[in-house]
Amino acid sequence: MSEFLLAAAGFVLLTVAVGLVRILRGPANVDRMMAAQLFGTGGVAAVLLLGAATGAAAAIDVALTLALLAAFASFAFVKAAPGGDGAPATDRDR
């Protein structure tokens, strides 16, 4: 079972890596904003599978943290990208 889970983790990582290539190359910023989505799902799946394969019970906490912080990061991306709502820390507003 742990070999199978390791192999599955490897596949998921491969899809994340290939997706990253596409996203980072993507000509528009909207493509790059999707990066946080990619980790939120692919990264969390890889962490869960790796944790289950090695028997590390605390890997689920890492997955929880990653899910929450990836959510936060994706909203930050949308806010900060040009054409987005504007980052909370740009411009001076009286």
For another protein, the binding residues in 47-76 under the rule CB under 8 A are 47-52, 54, 56-76
- What is the closest distance, in whole angstroms, from the C-beta atom of residue 24 to another protein in the complex? 6
For 77, other C-beta atoms within 10 Å of its C-beta total 19
- What is the closest distance, in whole angstroms, from the C-beta atom of residue 25 to another protein in the complex? 9
Q: Count of residues binding another protein (CB under 8 A)?
A: 90
Between CA 91 and CA 65 the distance in angstroms is: 31
Task: Provide the H-helix boundaries in the chain.
Answer: 2-25, 29-33, 35-38, 44-54, 59-80
Looking only at residues 17 through 46 of this chain, which bind another protein when binding is defined by CB under 8 A?
Answer: 17-20, 22-24, 26-46
